[in-house]
Amino acid sequence: MNITLTAPCHFGLESVLASEARHIGGENVQVTDGRVTFQGPVSLIARANICLRTAERVQVLLGSFPAYTFEDLFQGVRKLPLEDYIGQKDAFPVKGWSLNSKLHSIPDCQSIIKKAAVTRLQQAYHINWFEETGAVYQIEFGIHKDNAIIMLDTSGSGLHKRGYRRSSVIAPMKETLAAGIIDLARVYPDSALYDPFCGSGTLLIEGAMHAMKIAPGLRRRFAAEKWNILPQSHWHQERQRAFDLIDRSASFTAFGSDIDPEAIALTQHNAQQAGVASKIHLVRRDVKDFAMETGKGVVICNPPYGERLLDVKEAQAIYRIMGKVFAQREKDRFYIISPDEEFEKFFGKKADKRRKLYNGMIKCQVYMYFK
């Protein structure tokens, strides 16, 4: 059977995720703020979880409907074909959110949806009690401006958890956001990538995985692997397909530096865990001493800024240093993430293009220099 999948993402990365969805075979791709929806066979659940780089998770969209009252919510959920997925012994907890809606009490909404789901499954299976000892089918809801969407989460833990980063330095960038910026910066299999503030190495590692076509979900498991509608053999096939696509012959090279020796050690460890250590070269170095070991390259960095690690004046002093150092490499491309609306003033050059993104809850811009 064909199903509708929906995947939330960082605001600003919707077009990147939409392109990914099409690339893996998704059809009827639709984009809304912070979310991409697409259709395909049930088997697409496995491919989407294993291969999508910028999705926060993958959900089955069961339905949507207006929900002004609890009765609306109850009847809307009761009409959904939950028995197509959830078995007699399976667990089906409920969680979600509400924004700008009459039904604003999350606990009350959870209770109503759970009651409606139980009612629907009781009618389908002709039983009164559910053990909920089997596979977990996490029911998720969102209510925005009195319109409810009901979903089943297929991922389990968020897809930013690739399996290579066990710990990090302060204020790490999520892997899904880093992957989106790598895509926006047009990193190719033969690119030379630089990050002078490498931190835990996320940008470098995601760049290497992108260039080598290493699927982000190869090193982890997903909630839907225990679902009956998708046999284990298919998950195995999708993983094997992803392994076969890896290009270890790519000439991609990455160079990372950081003033913090702990960051260098952590990046090295994470790169080894991700299987890309041979592509990443590291050195302890202050940004004022930044140098490029190749004739041409692309610099992508997330320098420390006031709301994360430094006070505003310290961050702006770093921007000035970056402007002086990077100015010596006019033919190279630079992509710099910052929440400072005056970044260009301190960097000393107006960006060729800006892209609004959110790093966690912090509104940022990617300042792009490529001309």
Domain identity same for 296 and 355: yes
Q: Is residue 150 within 8 Å of residue 63, measured between CB atoms? A: yes
Q: Which of left, alpha, beta for 6 (phi over 0: left; psi -120 to 50: alpha)?
A: beta
For residue 369, pLDDT beyond 80 = yes
Q: In what order do the strands lie in the sheet with 147-153?
A: 27-32, 35-41, 2-8, 59-66, 147-153, 138-144, 94-99
CA distances from 284 to 21, 65, 246, 258 (A): 38, 55, 30, 5
CA atoms 33, 218, 84, 129: torsion sign: negative
Domain presence at residue 244: no
Domain identity same for 125 and 182: no
Average pLDDT over residues 166-176: 74
Q: Is residue 191 within 8 Å of residue 252, measured between CB atoms? A: yes
pLDDT band with cut points at 50, 70 and 90 for residue 168: low
Average pLDDT over residues 93-104: 97
Percent of the chain with pLDDT over 70: 97
Percent of the chain with pLDDT over 90: 89
Q: What are the pLDDT digits (tens) for 178-213?
A: 999 999 999 999 999 999 999 999 999 999 999 999
Rounded Cα distance between 1 and 74, Å, is: 26
- List the beta bridge partners of residue 61: 151
Residue 331: predicted pLDDT: 83
The whole-model pTM stands at: 0.94
Domain identity same for 54 and 189: no
Rounded Cα distance between 367 and 354, Å, is: 5
Higher per-residue confidence, 286 vs 173:
286
Domain identity same for 126 and 202: no
Residue 295: predicted pLDDT: 74
- When the pLDDT of each residue in the chain is averaged and rounded to a whole number, the result is 94
pLDDT band with cut points at 50, 70 and 90 for residue 1: confident
Beta carbons within 8 Å of 70's beta carbon, 6+ residues apart: 103, 108, 109, 112
Which domain, by its residues, includes 281?
Answer: 175-214+249-369
Domain identity same for 189 and 51: no
Tell me how crowded residue 5 is: count the other CB atoms within 10 A of its CB: 24
Residue 233: predicted pLDDT: 95
For residue 174, pLDDT beyond 80 = yes
For residue 307, pLDDT beyond 90 = no
Pick from 145, 139, 5: nearest CA to 61? 5
Rounded Cα distance between 187 and 185, Å, is: 6
Domain identity same for 189 and 308: yes
Count of domains forming the chain: 2
Domain identity same for 74 and 190: no
Residue 169: predicted pLDDT: 58
Domain presence at residue 334: yes
Domain containing residue 286: CATH number: 3.40.50.150
